Amino acid sequence: VALLENNRQTTIKNHFYKYSRQAREKVRVVTVDMSGAYIPIIRKLFPKAEIVLDRFHIVQHLSRTMMSTRIAIMK
């Protein structure tokens, strides 16, 4: 587990490039939030990993959408 000083792509790249490509190719799954900004960097850093959206953000998105739809219908 590592706690990086920020979430900038440069910081993330510098951290994970400390590991060999061989080690990074062993990573099979990477979980991310729904921000599309991280997907290109994950594909470069972990070329064999499957990218999975985390459950919390999926449920949060669905809940907000359902609430907006419910409010629109009630108007």
* pTM for the whole structure: 0.72
Residue 37: per-residue pLDDT: 86
Owner of token pair 């070329």: 47
Show Cβ contacts of residue 4 under 8 Å, excluding neighbours closer than 6 positions. Answer: 11, 12, 15
35 occurs within a structural domain: yes
Whether 75 has a pLDDT exceeding 90, the answer reads no
Report CA torsion sign: 7, 8, 13, 14.
Answer: negative
pLDDT band at 9 (very low <50, low <70, confident <90, very high): very high
Read off the pLDDT of residues 36-62 as tens digits, 9 standing for 90 and up.
Answer: 888 999 999 999 999 998 889 889 989
Q: Six-digit token pair at 54?
A: 């985390």
**If DSSP codes are grouped into helix, strand and coil, which group holds residue 3?**
coil
**Among candidate residues 40, 32, 31, 34, the one with its CA nearest the CA of residue 9:** 40
- Is there a domain that residue 2 lies in? no
Where in the sequence is the domain holding 62, given as residue range(s)? Answer: 9-74
Q: How many domains does the chain have?
A: 1
In a domain, 55, yes or no: yes
